[in-house]
């Protein structure tokens, strides 16, 4: 059965960073060390946001829909997630209502219930409750426009984003694609990247 879906929020890239950039980092005159620690680090973004803002970070689930075998125009790592799949889209916000990011994740329908008991919880909280060991395998970073998030962020692009696989027990658990609001400049400093100097 073909499953009809709405598109997810994908960045229209002005610049893309590959594995080499992810491992080496960028010169600080192109992107501050604070932004690089946030974007290129392997920690849980929700936890980082909580530490940065000193506020509880809450999840607003926008959508959880079955995809069947559809690849969903996702990054190529989607093939590592066994079908049939489910797509989850969320906003990450502070309890004060500040919207920090939009995330899309793809899960195997067969295993999502084992790891994400409460969809309203951030992924790291759900997994930490079970003492699940994770490896965050960052694959690509992006800088560009994303019309799907502009109204909610309340800031025009371009935006920073990234995608990665979360691994558990030697197997990929979920593929995650994140887009970050310029509101984070309040905590991390300027985020502009001069694409003309690449």
Tens digit of pLDDT for each residue in 103-141?
A: 999 999 998 877 666 666 556 555 555 545 678 899 999
172: which DSSP letter? E
**Domains along the chain?**
12-191 (3.40.1410.10)
Which of 198, 197, 196, 184 is CA-nearest to residue 37?
Answer: 184
Query: C-alpha angle 61/119/9, rounded to 5°?
Result: 35
Q: Are 193 and 23 in contact (CB under 8 A)?
A: no
pTM: 0.90
pLDDT for residue 37: 92
Q: Are 139 and 164 in contact (CB under 8 A)?
A: yes
Residue ranges of the chain with per-residue pLDDT less than 50? 1-4, 131, 198
For residue 20, give both structure tokens.
Answer: 């080499």
pLDDT for residue 191: 80
Q: Are 142 and 160 in contact (CB under 8 A)?
A: yes
pLDDT for residue 133: 63
Q: Are 111 and 130 in contact (CB under 8 A)?
A: no
């Amino acid at each position: 059965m073909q499953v009809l879906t709405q598109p997810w929020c994908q960045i229209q890239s002005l610049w893309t960073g590959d594995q080499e950039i992810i491992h080496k980092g960028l010169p600080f005159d192109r992107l501050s060390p604070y932004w690089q620690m946030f974007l290129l680090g392997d920690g849980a973004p929700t936890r980082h946001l909580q530490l940065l803002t000193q506020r509880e970070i809450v999840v607003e689930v926008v959508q959880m829909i079955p995809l069947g075998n559809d690849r969903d125009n996702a990054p190529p790592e989607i093939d590592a997630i066994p079908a049939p799949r489910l797509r989850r889209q969320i906003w990450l916000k502070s309890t004060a209502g500040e919207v920090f990011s939009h995330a899309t994740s793809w899960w195997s329908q067969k295993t999502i219930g084992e790891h994400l008991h409460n969809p309203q919880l951030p992924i790291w909280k759900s997994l930490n409750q079970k003492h699940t060991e994770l490896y965050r395998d960052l694959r690509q970073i992006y800088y560009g426009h994303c019309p799907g998030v502009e109204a909610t962020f309340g800031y025009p692009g371009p935006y920073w984003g990234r995608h990665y696989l979360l691994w558990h027990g030697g197997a990929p658990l979920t593929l995650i694609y994140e887009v970050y609001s310029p509101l984070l400049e309040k905590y991390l400093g300027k985020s502009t990247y001069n694409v003309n100097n690449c």
